[in-house]
Structure 1
Amino acid sequence: MRSFFLNDKGQTLAQATSDAQGHVQLEADKAAALLLARKEEQTTLLDLTLPALDLSEFNVAGAPGYSKQFFMFGPRDLYRPGETVILKRITAR
C-alpha cells in the first residue's frame, strides 16, 4: 500500500510504502491537509483538517443548572443490616 501526505492544493508532501503487516510511517508535516492511501484499485482519503471526533452529536454542555444543590453524608461509610443510619445534609442555593 502506498500512503501520501497532500497539502491543500493536492501536492505530495511525503510518501511511503507499507510493510508486510500494513504499517506505514510518514514524517509529520504541519502543511498536510490530506492522507491518501492506495492499494491496487482502492483509494482512501482522510481529511486531516477536520476534528478527530465530531462533538456536535454529543451533549458536551455538562449537567443542566439547578437552583439548589444537595449533599448528604454520614459519620460512617458502612453499616450492617439492621443498624440505624444517621445522615446529615447540606443544601446550597
Structure 2
Amino acid sequence: MTRQLTKADQRTVIGDGLAVGCHDVGVTALTARKLEIELSFNHAWRSFPLATTLFRQVKGDLARCDGIPIIADSTRRRWSRVAWYQEGPWWVPT
C-alpha cells in the first residue's frame, strides 16, 4: 500500500527539488520579489505533470501560490536536505 505524502512532506520535496534544479542549471539565487516568484512558480507548476497527482496539496494558481512559503519555511524543516536563506534581494539555497 502506497503512503500519501503529508502537506509538509509535499512542501519539503518541492523546496528541495527547486534547490537541486537550480543547482543543476547553475542558478545560485532567486529574486526575493514576491510577484516575480509567484508568477514564475505558478507558470512552472501548471506545466509540472505531478502537480495534480502526487502534490495535490501544493497550490500554484491565482487564488493561492505556495512558492514563497515553501522557500521561506525551508529553514525550519526538520528533515530537509536544503535550506533557503534570504540574503538581501535574493533567496539562496544551501
TM range (shorter): under 0.3
Q: Looking at secondary structure, tell me which structure has more strand per residue.
A: 1
Q: Looking at secondary structure, tell me which structure has more helix per residue.
A: 2
Higher relative contact order (CA closer than 8 Å, sequence separation 6+): 2
Instruction: Report the structure number with the largest CA radius of gyration.
Output: 1
Query: TM-score, normalised on structure 2?
Result: 0.19
